[in-house]
Each structure stands twice: as C-alpha cells, then as structure tokens.
Structure 1
Amino acid sequence: MRVKDLFVTRSVSDLIDETEYGDERLRRSIGPVGLTALGVGAIIGTGIFVVIGEGAKLAGPSLFLAFILAAITCGFSALSYAELSSSVPVSGSAYTFSYATLGEFVAFIIGWDLILEYGVAVAAVAVGWGGNLNAFLESVFGIELPTALTASPSDGGVINLPAVFIVMLISILLTLGTRESARANAVMVGIKILILVFFIVVAFTAFQADHFEPFAPEGFAGIASAAGVIFFAYIGFDAVTTASEESRNPGRDLPIAVIGSLLISTVLYVLVAIAAVGVASVDTLSGSDAPLATALDEGAGIPWAGGLLAAGALIAITSVILVLLYGQTRIFFAMCRDGLLPRRLAKVNPRFGTPARLTLGFGTLIAVLAALVPLDEIVKLVNIGTLFAFVLVNLGVIILRRTRPDMKRPFRVPGSPVVPLIGILLCAYLIAQLPWETWVRFVGWLVAGLIIYFAYSIRHSRLRRGEHATRPADAGAPDAAAPDAAPGAGEKG
C-alpha cells in the first residue's frame, strides 16, 4: 500500500446520502433548543462550582476577565465546528469532518482518540457524581454513605456503586430515544441555570465593591494563567456536533447551538465570577473546596446555600454524563458504520431509533471503569484528546474551503483562513503546556489504535470496498452546482 492511500477521503455527498438513505441511519428528532441544551449541559458541570476558587487564586478579583479570555480561545474553534457541522451534518463530529478533509487514517486516529476522551471523561465525572451525592445527602439529610460502597478498591473502598448507578441509568435513557434524552437534559440544564441565577441575584444583594481591590495583583500573567485553568471548564460545546445527524435542520440549528451554548455559558460564568468576588473576598474563595456555597454562607449569611448548590452540582454532573456518553456512542457508531470497527455494532434499534446495543455496551464498560479503577491520572488524557480534535477541525475548515469551494455552507467562519489558524495556534500552545506523562499515555493509546487500524479497519473499510449508500431513483440527483450540498431543512422527521 502506498502512503497516499492512507489519506483517501470520503465524499461529503456520500456521507450525507448515508444519513438519508442508508440502512444504518438515525432519526432527525432534535431542534435548536435541545441542541443548545446539549452544549450547555456538557459545558456547565462541576467546573463552575469548583474552578472559581482555583481561578481566583491566580487572577484575583480580575477573575471574570480570565473567563472571557478562555471563552475567546474556545470561540475560534467553535466557529470552525459550526461551519463543518452545518456543512457535513453527519454523526461523528471531528472524526467525520476529518474523514471528509484529511483522509481515513487521520479520521481513525482522531476517532480512536475521541472514544478514549469521552469514555474517560464519563467515568471520571461519574466518580465525581458519587462524591457530590454524598455531599448533598450529608448537607441536607445528615446521611453519609459508607466508603466501601462509594470508592474504588485503590481508594479504600470495594465498589463505587453511585457511579455505576448513574452511568447505567443514563445508558438506559439514551437507549430509549434521543428525543427523550434531549428533553431530560433540557430540564436538568434549566434547573442548574436557575440555581446559578439564584446565586448571582443573592450575591449581588450583598455586593462589596472593595473586594475588587487590587484588581489584578499578578497583572495579565495572572489572568492568562487562570484562563489556562478555566479553559477546560468550557470544553463540551463540541459535543453538540455529535448530534449533527439527529438535528431536524442542521444547516440552521447546529451553528446556533454550538455558538449559542458557548455564549450562554460564558455570560453565566462571567456573572458568577463577578458576583462571587463581590460577595466574598478572594482569600475566602481560593481557600474553599466549595467556593460558591462558602461565598453565600459567609458573605450573604445563607448557611443553607451549601445544600442548594450541592443539589445544583449533582444535577450539573448528571447532564454532563448524559451528553458525553451520548457523544461517545455517536462517534463510535459512525466509525462502525464506516466499517473501521465492527459494523454489527452500528445496528439501529427499529423501535427506539438509537444504536441500543452499542449504547448499553459502552455504558457497562464505563460503569466497570468508574466502579473499580482510580482515574486521577488517566483523566488528564481528556485534555490532550480534546485539543487535538480542535486542531483538526480548524484544519478541516481550511482544507475543505480549498478542495470543495462550491459546497453549500449554511454557516461560514468569518475571516478564514486566519480565524481557524488562530484556533490551531491557541490549541497548540495549550497542548505544549501539558505534562509529559500525558503524552506517554496518549501515545500508548494511539499505538493500540494503529494496531487495530492496520489489522482490521483497513480491510473492512466501506470506502476501500467501494460500498456507498444507494440513492433511490425517485430521490433525484445531487445539485450539480453544489455536489456536496447538505440536505434541506426537515427532510427527515
């Protein structure tokens, strides 16, 4: 095999035909509100309930500027995700975008990377869910669950039952239907937004302007350092694009959801940061494991705030698990449908319209991981995986603009290729800051993926076998002027 054969790409029109006429297709059932809620659900997790303290330690009262800087950093990549998801509305997110622009080999690598990223993230967040459940029960009811049932063996327990429970519960919900899962997520997102709004309103009633002096004790360096920590509180907007194939009107709704979820989260983050510093000193915030609860307790005199915010954190984590597990199953589904992994796993349940076998299988594996394996170190792989995906999506916009200049693009990144290039450079800078141990683990996972690719995937790839979705005779030919045009709004209900 020649090296250039590794970089064969899939036609965008064929990818789209597969979602409309293929045997393994998903139902288009999510609207703009549900999609935006997926993004907000993935972004606003426990980070905002904890990262305020870490950021305040570095940036001081100028903490809110660090949130804005981190949002701008993510914004460049968000614009690229918006363009590709609206132009290539197919499950798989960065994996599928890479298949259409950079070739099969790169697509497999990023897909394999994202499977690890999402899987480890779900397991880690599920472990955090168990800890927050304990905090909630203790603060509200005075009940503390035994360590034997809430920790892994290496952490002094036997099994983390709460983590198993929440992962399996979400897996079953995702199996029953995407529309139902999206509605449940929207409810949880609404509740956690209300709790954050409650914090903002109450904190502003006890606001003290002198807490903002000195405003930036460490200057811009402190703000930039805090932005580096806070950046990872924004990761999650990319999960919206894993729902591309299940969006009712992808050309319009996906850009709205990707950019909208980032903007909503940024506004909430900035207001919470300003309110937190206004109601409590930087020393109070940075010295607490639960800075928002401490701020309302000591600054506003509301001791029961801890229980309310613990409930908010619990709900926030639940929606994060739902969105991340959803995203992982859709990426794996796309790889199986393309033949790069066993195709039988891409079977869609005719009753529920979801890849039920795949979803329950992943849920079980992740539940075992969360129950028994310590995740303190491996969770760092989430960061490097996400940043690599961001780099490839930005690169994909630049390449597709050159190779498919006439393709229909419902949303276009302004200022391309400059804006995507800035996104690449920002992500590359953050990747360079990661510890070498993270690189070693990442390379180890990729080596395992390469073995699978050359031993299995390259021989079973549908693209290499010449298999394509069959367009019915009465469906009409693709638009000759725009051979890779996306389907119109609402073609599938």
Structure 2
Amino acid sequence: MGREASDVVDLAASDDEAHGRTGYGVRGAGHRQVPSGVVSLLRTKPVERTPETGLRRTMGLVPLVALSVGATLGTGIFVVLGQAAPVAGPAVAVSFVVAALAALFSALSYAELAGAVPVSGSAYSYTYATLGELVAWVCGWCLLLEYGVSVAAVAVGWSGYLNAFLYATVGWQLPAALSGDVVNLPAAVVVLLATAVLLGGAKESALVTTVTTVLKVAVLLFFVAVAVFGFQQENLTPFAPAGVAGVTGAASLVFFSFIGFDAASTAGEEARNPQKDLPRAIVISLAIVTVVYVLVALTSVGAVGIGVLEGSDASLATVLQHVTGASWPSVVLSAGAVVAIASVVLTVLYGQTRVLVAMSRDGLVPPVFARIGPRRVPTANTLIVGVAVAVLAALVPLGQLAEATSIGTLVAFGLVNVGVIVLRRTRPDLPRGFRTPWVPVVPLLGLAMCVLLVAGLAPVTWLAFGIWSVVGLVVYFAYGRRRSQLAQGE
C-alpha cells in the first residue's frame, strides 16, 4: 500500500499481492472499501517472519518445563489454600482440578500457537500474526501489566517470607522501616539479584531456574510426605458442604495459582526445537503443577481439617507444625517458600524482557529494548526492567493494584484462544507442532472461562485496568503506530 494510494484500499487484493507489497496480509472479504487508517490497525505480521535476533537457542525441553513450572508454582499454593478451603470444604482438592481444567483450555491454545509461531513475545506475537497490530499492542500492554506488577508483588511477598524465615531460624527480623513501612529493601534486592542472573545469559539463568524449580517441587513433596502421617478420614466429612457452588467458588480463587504456565512461550527464540518442545513444555508443566496442588490440598485438609486452615496466611507451615508438634518441618517449608518465590521473580522477569524484545523489534517500543549484548541477552532491556521493578517493589505498597495482573492475564488468554480459531481459518496449511483438539469448541470454552473470571473481578481492578489501557493507547498512537516495522514497509 504505497503512500501515493488513495484514502481507501481494496481488500479484495490477493494475499500474495498484499504480502509482496506490504510485508503483511489483511485478508479481505469481497470487494469493499475500508479507510486505509483503519486497515493499518488491522495489519498482521506474516507467521513466517522470524528474523534472526541474536538470541541463542540453548533451551531444551527440561529447561522449558522448569521455566513454566517455576513461573507457576510460587506464592499461590503457599497462601491461597487457607482462603479457598473454607469456601469448598474438603472438596477444595476438586476445586484445584476444576481450575486446572479451565487453565487447560487456554493452555492447549497456547500450545498450538507456540508451535506455529515459535518466536519471542508469547501472546503478543501470536495476536500480531492473527488479529492485527492494534489488538497485538493491547495484548502486549496487558502482558507488561501482568509481568511487571506481578514481579513487584511477588517480590514484596518474598520479603515477608524471608522475615518469617529469619525469625524462625535466628530470632531476628529486619526493621519494619526496611521491610515495608518506609521502603521494602528485601523486595528490591531479590529483583536486582534476579536481574543479575538474567544478565549472565539464557543458558545460565535456565540452569538456575531448573535447580530452584526441582528444589521447590521437592519441598512441596516433603510437605505431602509429612502431612500424610496426620491424615484422618473424618476430616474429609462432609466432603462438599457448600455443594457445587462452593467448589466452583473456590476454583475461581485458586485459578490464579495456575497463571505462569505460558512462560515457556516467551522463549520461542531461545528454544532449540520450538515447534515440538514449546507445546510439550506448556502441557507438561500444567500437569505437574496440577498434581502437586491436588496432593498438597488433599493432605492438608485430611491432616488438620478446615478449621485449622481457615484464615491462615501460612497455611502449609501451620499444617506441619500441627502434625509434627515440632518447628523444624515448618522451617524447611519456609526455606522452600523463600526459594520458590525467588524463582518466580526470576522466571516472570525473564518473560517481561522477552515480550519487550518482540515489541521493540516490531518498532512499537524504543529500539533499546531489542539490543542484544555480548552474552546474547537483551542487556539494556534487562537492566531497565530490573531497576524499574525493583523501585516499584521497594516503594509502592501494591495492595489491590496487584489484582490488575489477573485482568491482564485473562485478556491475553482470551486473545490467544481467538487467535487459534482465526489462524485455523486463515492458514490451515501452516505446519503445527501441536494441534488443539476439537477446534473451535476448546478455544471457545477457554474464551468463555476468561470472560467469566474477568466479569467477577472487583470494580477497583477494572478502574486500574482502564487507566492502564488508556495510557497504552496514548503510547501506541503517539509512538508505536508510525514507527511500526510494518508501517515502514508501506
């Protein structure tokens, strides 16, 4: 579409012609005239466009699984059980299965697009290839909210666990002024430490992620092995006192414990065999996390009953202390929680930087975020993101703002489900390492679950998301739209 063209374009042009002239394809639906400004918002990036970026392909299946499990298995299971168990009763274990099924619909869609569009950027890149530039920008902006705010929130949570661990082991805590009242020093430190690990290179950070993920899975299995000795059948009766409503209500609470399985999809350009390994990593990681969650929930309730769990912010530590009557198992679990949450900071920060790499390469954010350093990592990008998140974690009491990560995640999940349906229609010939079964039923179910969960979020969350979205649209129309790589090819 040349600059000399009229104010309208003919969408009846063939796909080959559109791709040849512009580097993107807008698929038409008959001879209709649409303003060129509108078309520019709908331009899609060819799926085959996978430029060499300088990132090194060093990650096999195990590191990719560890990345996804590491991003998922974190603060949720250590705190959410005490909130969800009173809602569902002993059937809270079933609630985790229901939440996993809800996540599975979106995970299957992620798996297909990860194999078909094996580039960095996760849902942002997938929507750019299927739904157009404006939708991709909205999705990428949501991911920045999800990753950035959640890293800061997780870091603040890590600070609390670190203080608890120090008190249990050496009887000392950081002064309140340094752990949240004035500034949260530990939260900033853990973000900067994760930044330093990421600067070491993808292979090195993948090794750290794998080790810490194995360690925290081992700690949770240790919890199960200890808690099962206190298991009493009567603690499971009545099993579902609030019926189906209680089970589904608790499932909504625990659903966000599954957020993070998509982390492997941000490593599309650092995976050795992305078409096969990315889909496998997403599905395997979700299966591992679900099994661990169900075992922990079932043994917890069976060991101490709902009354002990209710209202406990450290429910798992409470269970061990109740079962053993000793403090050392709780200390082991607290140490595991410190490692678990620190590894979430690392993996989610990694995802944040790779989404920015993809957006920068496409011209939608400044080029500094796509520059690759001598260790084959986006050095400036990692430093900027690390310092910004460290400041956020140190100075801002996140409170309900952290809930905005949920709405950002659900919007991205919903768009990925739509993307699968669109790509099946527009590119049925595209090689896929994995095919989502029963399309369009499964993606539509995934989309419906996202809509249902988004509708239940608090008004303050919608307000925060609305403000963030307006800021994002201003940035796009003031900067990204004209500097887009696809715009340069017009």
Q: TM-score, normalised by structure 2?
A: 0.91
* Aligned equivalent of 2:348: 324
Deviation track 1:380-437 (CA, whole Å, cap 9, x = no partner) reads 1100000000000000000000000100011000001110000000110000001122
**Which of 121, 145, 149 is the matching residue for 2:178?**
149
For the residues of structure 2 that align with 1:53 and 1:201, how far apart are their CA atoms? 19
Q: Secondary structure at the match of 2:220?
A: helix
Question: Which residue matches 1:391?
Answer: 414
| 1:316-342 superposed Cα distances (whole Å, 9 cap, x missing partner) | 101110111000000011100111111
Structure 2 counterparts to residues 432-471 of structure 1, below 5 A: 432-466=455-489
Whether the aligned pair in 1 keeps the contact of 2:100 and 2:286 (CA below 8 Å) is yes
CA contact (8 A) 1:76 1:419 kept: yes
Partner of 2:254: 230
Answer yes or no: is the 8 Å Cα contact 1:243–1:330 preserved in 2: yes
1:270 matches 2:294? yes
> Is residue 279–residue 300 contact of structure 1 (8 Å, CA) maintained in 2?
no
Structure-2 residue corresponding to 1:173:
197
Matches within 5 A, 1:405-424: 405-424=428-447
1:15-52 superposed Cα distances (whole Å, 9 cap, x missing partner): x2x1xxx3x33111111000000111011102111111
**Aligned to 1:27, what secondary structure does the other structure show?**
coil
What letter is aligned with 2:474? I
Q: How much has 1:7 moved relative to structure 2? A: 0.5
User: 2:268 maps to what in 1?
Assistant: 244
Aligned counterparts of 1:299 and 1:307: Cα–Cα separation in 2:
14
Query: Residue 136 of structure 2 aligns with which residue?
Result: 107
Q: Note the residue ranges of structure 2 that are not aligned, 5 or more in a row.
A: 1-35
- 1:355-376 CA-to-partner distances (Å, cap 9, x unmatched) read 0110011100111111111100
Q: 1:9-408 residue pairs with structure 2 within 5 A? A: 9-14=44-49, 16=50, 18=51, 22=52, 24-151=53-180, 156-157=181-182, 159-349=183-373, 351-408=374-431
Distance 1:200 1:110 in 2: 38
Q: What is the CA deviation profile of residues 127-146 of structure 1, one whole-angstrom value per residue up to 9, with x for unaligned ones?
A: 11111110000011111110
Q: Distance in 1 between matches of 2:398 and 2:187?
A: 13
Offset at residue 289 of structure 1 (A) = 2.0
**Cα deviation 1:180-229 (Å, max 9, x = unaligned):** 10110111111111111111111112211110011111011101000000
1: CA distance, partners of 2:489 / 2:299 = 58
Q: Equivalents in 1 of 2:259, 2:421: separation in Å?
A: 22
2:193 and 2:324 mapped to 1: Cα distance?
37
Secondary structure, aligned partner of 1:406: coil
**Equivalent residue letter for 1:93:** S
Equivalent residues, number:
455
* Secondary structure of the corresponding residue to residue 153 of structure 2: helix
For 2:297 and 2:165, the matched residues in 1 are separated by 23
Secondary structure, counterpart of 2:436 in structure 1: coil
**Cα RMSD for the two superposed structures:** 1.1
In structure 2, distance between residues paired with 1:57 and 1:395: 35
Does the CA contact (< 8 Å) of 1:340 and 1:457 recur in 2? Answer: yes
Give the Cα separation in 2 of the matches to 1:234 and 1:454: 34
- For structure 1, list consecutive stretches of 5 or more residues without a partner in the other structure: 468-493
**What CA distance in whole angstroms lies between the structure 2 residues aligned with 1:300 and 1:220?**
33
Indicate the SS of the match to 1:246.
coil
Checking the alignment, whether the CA contact within 8 Å between 2:368 and 2:381 is kept in structure 1 is no
Work out the CA distance in 1 between the residues paired with 2:143 and 2:228: 40
Does structure 2 retain, via aligned residues, the 8 Å contact 1:149–1:161?
yes
Q: SS at the partner of 2:269? A: helix
Equivalent-residue separation in structure 2 for 1:353 and 1:444 (angstroms): 35
Partner Cα separation in structure 2 for residue 86 and residue 96 of structure 1: 12
Please tell me the residue identity of whatever aligns with 1:252: K
Contact 2:68 2:282 (8 Å CA) reproduced: yes
TM-score, length-normalised on structure 1? Answer: 0.91
Secondary structure of the structure 1 residue equivalent to 2:252: helix
